[in-house]
A and B are shown apart, each in its own frame.
Chain A
Amino acid sequence: MYSVIKYSIIENLRSKFYLASIGMILFIIWLSHYSSQINYNYGNYTLSILTLGMYFTKLILFAFIIFLPVSNLSQEIETGTIYFLLSKKLKRYKYLAAKYITYMILYAALLFFAVFSLWLLTYVFVSKRPEMSLKLLYFMYSEFLSGMMILSIVFFIYTAIKAQVVTSILTAITYFISIMLNSAKEIAEKAQDASVRCFYLFLYYIFPNFSYFNLEKNIVYGRAVDIKYFFMMFCYAAIFSLILFIISAVFFNSREL
């Protein structure tokens, strides 16, 4: 399993996709700097850069954590590379776990690069705000956990339906529904019709709630977050990802190649 992780990382680092992602991160950091000059809403230059920078970074990371695994996994299956791997002494669930860890490592490296670039821009080059350095770690932590959950959704959908494009679209839809779950709960509470209430409650309970991982306001306005909340976030993401990963492994195990 360790060797699958090691060589998958080497392979991905040599691919154009990863280099392009790093290039995109640099571009969006520049874009957030440029946009903050145009859209100076917050009365504070650093806060403006941070808000836009985190927003753009989230978009890039979101695209990365969906498209890299989907294209990579489907390519391995369609071209037959998977036959080489699975004819060795490697169990299918271990292959899946190795791939999951590989993508999380690559994602974490990209996230670190993005956060480091943002920190350089806000702290070193533009305005010296030392307190921002620590707050950016909040962003790193929450994005890592939400990346973990998105990746498990990708694995779950891909192993269940085996289609590249549909997996990407369904994961994106799941994510967008999931960030609006609080609104779904509000609608359910206000709804008169029982069927409407049931539908929104169903959405609320069946989809993962990504709004728990939204700490941008705390970061921008320098609000502290309770350590218990961080722990709760970790437990939520870990349990959700583990359950989905186990289901994905069962699907993958019963799949003909």
Chain B
Amino acid sequence: MKNQKIEGVMYKSIGEFCIYVIKFTKYTKAIGECMLKIDNLKKTFNKKIALDGINLNVKKGEVFGFIGRNGAGKSTTIKSVLGFVFPDSGEMFFKDEPLDQSKFRESIGYLPEIAKFPEKLTAKEFLTYSYSFYKKITGATRDKISQLLEDVGLKESKNKLINTFSKGMKQRLGIAQSVIHDPELLILDEPFTGLDPVGKDGLKKILIDQNKEGKTIFFSSHNLTEVQDICSVICTLHNGKVVYQGATSDFIKEQSSNSLEEAFIKSYSRSGGKDV
């Protein structure tokens, strides 16, 4: 009888131990889990090389800044990932599996470079529209939409047509539509372009909050002050080639600079400084 009791306790302890091991393994795996990986991506437009063997590795939980001059290949990379542009060669992986567009789109939120949304819809209608691609609209969805509009500071304008919105309001609405279905990865193409300092600050706060909620953020930008403020990891692109990928602070140190902007200019000059 006593032995049975001891065995029972022992089995229970072993069981609990195993669960801890599994949980710990999952946790350690999640820290470095690869969210998006790009291998040797190449793309040419009319004999002009846009992407010349891009390699990228975005890990789970990172705020990843994708920086480069105009025409460096940032938007082409993003469009290739989203299937808008067809790369000539290379491989893409999402969570360590070959990228399958239909599954991938369920797990991402995207904000295009020029946030042009259906202008004749109201903010509320637009978010309902965005949500309807993923799940059925219920009463809870309506509450979620109202909450999201409040979070991005558009509660007062929820019934106004989008064509009456300022650039900053459209950008905040764009962020709201990209996070509405609770994606794991946010892909933002130049989210700070055209925003005034207050707008930039507001957007920065939203992105930091989203990252705290566990979302991985991948964004392209040439607003390097913002990138330095919020990105833990950066990737610099020159003439369709990756010049650096790693911690933002390491890049600044490597270039013996005080800011990311200064470091980027130095790095650009050293890499030849040719225009694409």
Q: Which of A10, A12, A83, A256 has the most CB of B within 10 A?
A: A83
Indicate if the CB atoms of A11 and B133 lie closer than 8 Å. no
Kindly report which residue of chain A lies nearest to residue B131, judged by CB atoms.
Answer: A3
Query: Contacts of A84 on B, CB cut-off 8 Å?
Result: 110, 112, 115-117, 130, 177
**Which of A79, A83, A89, A256 is B134 in contact with, Cβ under 8 Å?**
A89
Query: Contacts of B113 on A, CB cut-off 8 Å?
Result: 80
A81-B133 CB under 8 A given contacts A86-B84, A87-B110, A257-B85? no
Query: Contacts of A10 on B, CB cut-off 8 Å?
Result: 120-121, 125
Indicate if the CB atoms of A90 and B133 lie closer than 8 Å. yes
Digit string of A1-19 for contact with B (CB within 8 Å is 1, else 0)?
A: 0110001001110110000
Q: How many residues of A contact B (CB 8 A)?
A: 21
Query: Contacts of B79 on A, CB cut-off 8 Å?
Result: 257
Kindly report which residue of chain B lies nearest to residue A14, judged by CB atoms.
Answer: B120
Query: A91 near B: Cβ within 8 Å?
Result: yes
Indicate if the CB atoms of A80 and B112 lie closer than 8 Å. yes
A7-B125 CB under 8 A given contacts A86-B84, A89-B106? yes
Q: How many residues of B contact A (CB 8 A)?
A: 29
- In angstroms, how far is the closest chain B Cβ from the Cβ of A126? 37
| Bound CA–CA A2/B133 (angstroms) | 9
Digit string of B75-87 for contact with A (CB within 8 Å is 1, else 0)?
A: 0000100111110
- In angstroms, how far is the closest chain A Cβ from the Cβ of B160? 13
Query: Contacts of A3 on B, CB cut-off 8 Å?
Result: 129, 132-133
Query: Contacts of B177 on A, CB cut-off 8 Å?
Result: 84
Query: A217 near B: Cβ within 8 Å?
Result: no
- In angstroms, how far is the closest chain B Cβ from the Cβ of A20? 15
**Which of B82, B114, B132 is A87 in contact with, Cβ under 8 Å?**
B82
Indicate if the CB atoms of A83 and B84 lie closer than 8 Å. yes
- In angstroms, how far is the closest chain A Cβ from the Cβ of B138? 14
Interface, chain A (partner B; CB < 8 A): 2-3, 7, 10-12, 14-15, 79-81, 83-84, 86-91, 256-257
Additional pairs, 7, CB under 8 Å, beyond known A11-B119, A257-B84: A80-B114, A81-B116, A81-B118, A83-B112, A84-B112, A89-B134, A90-B133
